[in-house]
Amino acid sequence: MFGKFSRRHFAKLAGFSALGMASPAKPADDAARPARQAPASFPDGFIWGTATSAYQIEGAVNEDGRGRSIWDTFAHTPGKIGDRSTADRANDHYHRYKEDVGLIKELGAKAYRFSIAWPRVFPQGTGAPNPKGLDFYDRLVDELLKNGIEPFATLYHWDLPQALQDRLGGWRSSETSRAFADYAGHVAERLSDRVKSFFTVNEVGRFVNFGYGWGIDAPGLKLPQGKLNQVHHNVALGHGLAVQAIRAKGRAGTKVGPAENIAACLPAIATPENIRAAEIATRELNASFLGVVLTGKYTDGFLSYTGKNAPKFTDDELKIIASPNDFVGLNIYAPQYYVVAIDKAPGFKVLPFPTSFPHMNVDWLRIGPETAYWVPRLAAKVWNIDTIYISENGTSADDKIAADGNVYDLDRIMYLRNYLAQLQRATSEGVPVRGYFLWSLMDNFEWIYGFEKRFGLYRVDFDTQRRIPKLSVSFYRDVIARNAIGA
Ligand code: BG6
């Protein structure tokens, strides 16, 4: 391959002189170049982190009194996971957490977002806590702090105790919302001396629709729209109750907020009218979670659109749901809705994606770096948010090991470089993004894809559990060290 390239390259250069032409212009002398500008930086104190979740990495599903979760059940159901795997062992992180904290340190990352498995803490979802349930997270948090890495804990990254699904129908019941708050309060009581920031629920927009609407995530239900909207409402209620429980049981000053895969709305062409249309779309297409959480109201548009399928709620519930947050986490991967302005209601029109629109190696992950600019900018404006974290961003890639033993994930680096450049553009304009968590620290159990898709900075061999840094580790380490994207 290399030889072939060299020959072609040589022939091309030889061709230039045979034709009597000068070789391609040599770069100008350094002295003649304009002074090189320092790369555009992120704000001082910007928090650089990376992220994982419990079921995707921990393994040890039967250890130390852990209960069963809906994802254990789902992954063990034939036909649900692309490569027929489960996360029974996954990255064996439960036993290898020290090594994994070492990987974060090697990156120079200042923060780590992980999730706590509810069924480890309350194996039955409610009732008596498992005495050993939080010990693992105690050890993990101590190890992180020892290495100068700030822990950010997510309380719900989809692994609902199976017992709650069996007994209550999971999030179909507001009893689950209350159980979630009890669990959140218990965790905050125990960990908030060292964990200063908690994310409540991760990606409501995904786990409710995929798990309760389309049946392709756990618990695998296909509920009609009215019931599905009620599930959304119960999760929003669970979030609000958890915020209150953390304030009641955690140390003063503990910070809390959601981590949502916001419906990413972008102006197709950035005219003032289309930007306004993208604001309206952001508000309306996120009404069922971020909207109600941040305003205490469902929008008129949402209520008239859902009509008889609208969720049932009380004013008291709306007040709980809108308990003030300290930050909002936005998971940003792909542009979802490119919009233009229209004169009639609702004020925006969503454009269809051409089939030729580029994407990464999962088809849903369309490439739209400006998502990292528009989404936080519009969210901050629409809901008046003053602290945003990009709680996830990253991509799956092919990640083969090259003959020399390295993984040259140039496509991931391309993706990250371009998204981060747009994020930098946002922070330079004053959009209040305070930190960024790259998904993911290492390859892991990617839900319905099993181990087929790799999102990690570190490649994991799931037979030997060996982790090797991909080239993107060097890229991200350099970004973190400079607090800027290098040239
Ligand atoms: C988000 C989740 O949806 O994106 C992560 O919060 C997930 O848990 C990641 O791993 C990638 O998604 P997927 O569906 O490709 O595994």
Measured from the Cβ of residue 101, the count of other Cβ atoms closer than 10 Å reads: 21
Separation of 56 CA from ligand 1 center, angstroms? 10
Question: For residue 32, is pLDDT > 70?
Answer: no
Determine, yes or no, domain membership for 14.
no
Residue with tokens 């600019």: 373
Separation of 448 CA from ligand 1 center, angstroms? 9
Burial class for 336, CB neighbours closer than 10 Å (0-12, 13-18, 19+): buried
What residues make up the domain containing 371?
43-482
The region of weakest confidence among 7-21, 78-92, 173-187, 308-322 is 7-21
Instruction: Tell me the mean pLDDT in the region 220-225.
Output: 98
Ligand 1 and 449: CB distance under 6 A: yes
Concerning whether 392 is annotated as a catalytic residue, the answer is yes
- Ligand 1 atom nearest residue 446's Cα: 16
**What's the alpha-carbon Rg for the chain, to the nearest Å?**
24
Average pLDDT, rounded, for the chain = 93
Question: For residue 304, is pLDDT > 60?
Answer: yes
Ligand 1 and 443: CB distance under 6 A: no
**What torsion do the CA atoms of 475, 477, 480, 484 make, to the nearest 10 degrees?**
-30
Catalytic site residue from 143, 203, 260, 446:
203
Concerning whether 203 is annotated as a catalytic residue, the answer is yes
For 375-385, letters b (16+ CB in 10 Å) and e give bbbbbbebbeb
The reported pLDDT for the residue numbered 38 is 62
Ligand 1 and 447: CB distance under 6 A: yes
What does the alpha-carbon distance between residue 328 and residue 447 come to, in Å, rounded to a whole number? Answer: 24
Instruction: Identify which of 208, 392, 454 to mutate to test ligand 1's pocket (most ligand atoms within 8 A of the CB).
Output: 392
Determine, yes or no, domain membership for 444.
yes
**Residues 6 or more apart in contact with residue 123 via CB below 8 angstroms:** 65, 66, 67, 68, 130, 133, 161, 163
What does the alpha-carbon distance between residue 448 and residue 425 come to, in Å, rounded to a whole number? Answer: 34
Question: For residue 395, is pLDDT > 80?
Answer: yes
Residue with tokens 């004013």: 315
The answer to whether 262 touches 286, Cβ cutoff 8 Å, is yes
Instruction: Tell me the mean pLDDT in the region 19-30.
Output: 40
Question: For residue 414, is pLDDT > 50?
Answer: yes
Instruction: Tell me the mean pLDDT in the region 13-37.
Output: 43
What does the alpha-carbon distance between residue 186 and residue 72 come to, in Å, rounded to a whole number? Answer: 24
Separation of 260 CA from ligand 1 center, angstroms? 12
- Ligand 1 atom nearest residue 440's Cα: 10
Determine, yes or no, domain membership for 21.
no
The reported pLDDT for the residue numbered 35 is 56
**β-strands 111-115, 265-267 pairing:** unpaired
The reported pLDDT for the residue numbered 14 is 34
Ligand 1 and 359: CB distance under 6 A: no
Counting residues of the chain whose pLDDT is more than 90, the rounded percentage is 91
The single-letter DSSP state of residue 25 is P
Determine, yes or no, domain membership for 470.
yes
Counting residues of the chain whose pLDDT is more than 70, the rounded percentage is 92
Q: Sorting pLDDT into bands at 50, 70 and 90, what band is 137?
A: very high
pTM: predicted TM-score of the whole model, two decimal places: 0.93
Q: SS3 of 73, please?
A: helix
**Per-residue pLDDT tens digits for 70-96:** 999 999 999 999 999 999 999 999 999
**Per-residue pLDDT tens digits for 463-483:** 999 999 999 999 999 999 999
Determine, yes or no, domain membership for 233.
yes
- Ligand 1 atom nearest residue 202's Cα: 6
Catalytic site residue from 58, 279, 317, 392:
392
Determine, yes or no, domain membership for 458.
yes
Question: For residue 45, is pLDDT > 60?
Answer: yes
- 3-state SS, one letter per residue, for 375-399: HHHHHHHHHCCCCEEEEEECCCECC
Determine, yes or no, domain membership for 111.
yes
Residue with CA nearest ligand 1 atom 8: 53
What is the DSSP code string of 291-340?
IHHHHSS--HHHHHHHGGGSPP--HHHHHHHTPPPS-EEEE--S--EEEE
Residue with CA nearest ligand 1 atom 11: 446
Separation of 280 CA from ligand 1 center, angstroms? 27
User: Could you tell me the two tokens for 339?
Assistant: 């919009």
The CATH number for 201's domain is 3.20.20.80
The reported pLDDT for the residue numbered 24 is 39
Q: Sign of torsion, CA 416 204 61 120? A: positive
Tally of domains within the chain: 1
Determine, yes or no, domain membership for 306.
yes
Instruction: Tell me the mean pLDDT in the region 395-402.
Output: 97
- Counted residue by residue, the chain has a size of 487
Separation of 357 CA from ligand 1 center, angstroms? 21
Residue with tokens 């898709």: 453
What does the alpha-carbon distance between residue 75 and residue 450 come to, in Å, rounded to a whole number? Answer: 9
Separation of 449 CA from ligand 1 center, angstroms? 10
Half-sphere exposure of 250 (CA within 13 A, CB side): 25
Ligand 1 and 113: CB distance under 6 A: no
**Per-residue pLDDT tens digits for 155-206:** 999 999 999 999 999 999 999 999 999 999 999 999 999 999 999 999 999 9
Residue with CA nearest ligand 1 atom 7: 446
